[in-house]
């Protein structure tokens, strides 16, 4: 088998792995929805802690699986590049549009901080693409403060109107950037936050501060950029 054909097979395999990572996203959303349903139906039932605990295990397993799949994608891309294929980099230069930053609050230190707005719709994708129609089909819509924060930290008083507001939404380019940033780096950041604050009372401001720190690290790659 020629080196060229080996490279093609590796790249084809990598595309399949990337597609698998993307396919995991709906399952994570399902866990969030199932958690909300369980809380609504069981309320203060003695069995709720068992069910929520199992759903949390599913959520954590999905997060780990996403990370491993992304690592496999990167390893395959590296192997392909060693065989003379394209280097394992992000999107090709020139493919990122320079768009106006998403509106954010600014403090005296000049740092644009993550903030909430208000949305009457829970269809956050529709909200985002109504504001940025040129990005439809080009980005995954991510919540700066994640949806699951509502269930994890009810004491923070988060509302769906805030969570799904335009100010709390970020566009992450599909493909390699989404795999590297959305499914890996940001996932690790929020998992770290959840572990550090397990069984602690978390305020809305603390969640926004963490979202701001994530924006600081990755905001230049969002579309529109927030840094």
The string of DSSP letters for 21-43 reads: HHHHHHHHHHHHHHHHHHHHHHT
pLDDT, tens digit, 9 for 90 and up, residues 76-112:
767 767 666 554 444 333 332 333 344 455 554 556 8
Confidence of residue 216 (pLDDT cuts 50, 70, 90): very high
Q: Which residue carries 């799949």 as its tokens?
A: 69
pLDDT band at 27 (very low <50, low <70, confident <90, very high): confident
Q: Which long-range contacts (CB under 8 A, 24 or more apart) does 61-68 make?
A: 62/24, 62/27, 62/28, 62/31, 63/28, 63/187, 63/191, 65/24, 66/21, 66/24, 66/28, 66/183, 66/184, 66/187, 67/183, 67/184, 67/187, 67/188
Residue 15: its pLDDT value, please?
72
Phi, psi of 100 (to 5 degrees): -65, 140
136, 171 Cβ separation under 8 angstroms: no
In 53-151, the DSSP E strands lie at: 105-106, 112-113, 139-143
- Token pair 């992000």 is found at 90
Determine the 3-state secondary structure of 152 from DSSP.
helix
How many Å apart are CA 85 and CA 6, to the nearest integer? 9
pLDDT at 95: 30
* CB proximity list for 221: less than 8 A, separation 6 or greater: 90, 172, 173, 177, 181
Bond into 173 cis (ω within 30): no
- Are 87 and 70 within 8 A, CB to CB? no
Above 80 in pLDDT, residue 28?
no
Q: Quickly state the pLDDT bin for 23 (edges 50, 70, 90).
A: low
DSSP letter assigned to residue 102: P
pLDDT in tens, 178-209: 778 877 789 889 999 999 998 899 999 999 99
Global confidence as pTM: 0.56
Q: Given this model, what pLDDT does residue 22 score?
A: 60
Domain ranges within the chain, ordered by starting residue: 1-88, 99-227
């Amino acid at each position: 088998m020629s080196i060229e054909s080996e490279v093609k097979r590796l790249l084809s395999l990598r595309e399949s792995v990337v597609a698998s990572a993307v396919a995991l996203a709906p399952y994570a959303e399902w866990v969030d929805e199932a958690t909300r349903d369980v809380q609504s139906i069981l309320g203060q039932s003695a069995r709720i802690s068992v069910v929520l605990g199992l759903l949390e295990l599913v959520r954590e397993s999905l997060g780990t699986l996403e990370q491993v799949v992304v690592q496999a994608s990167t390893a395959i891309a590296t192997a392909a590049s060693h065989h003379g294929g394209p280097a394992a980099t992000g999107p090709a230069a020139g493919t990122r549009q320079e768009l106006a930053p998403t509106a954010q609050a600014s403090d005296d230190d000049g740092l644009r901080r993550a903030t909430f707005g208000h949305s009457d719709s829970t269809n956050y994708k529709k909200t985002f693409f109504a504001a940025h129609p040129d990005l439809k089909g080009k980005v995954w819509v991510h919540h700066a403060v994640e949806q699951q924060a509502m269930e994890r930290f009810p004491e923070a008083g988060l509302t769906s109107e805030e969570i799904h507001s335009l100010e709390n939404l970020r566009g992450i380019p599909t493909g390699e950037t989404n795999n590297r940033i959305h499914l890996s780096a940001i996932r690790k950041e929020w998992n770290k936050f959840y572990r550090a604050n397990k069984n602690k009372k978390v305020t809305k401001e603390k969640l926004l501060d963490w979202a701001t720190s994530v924006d600081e690290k990755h905001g230049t790659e969002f579309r529109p950029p927030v840094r």
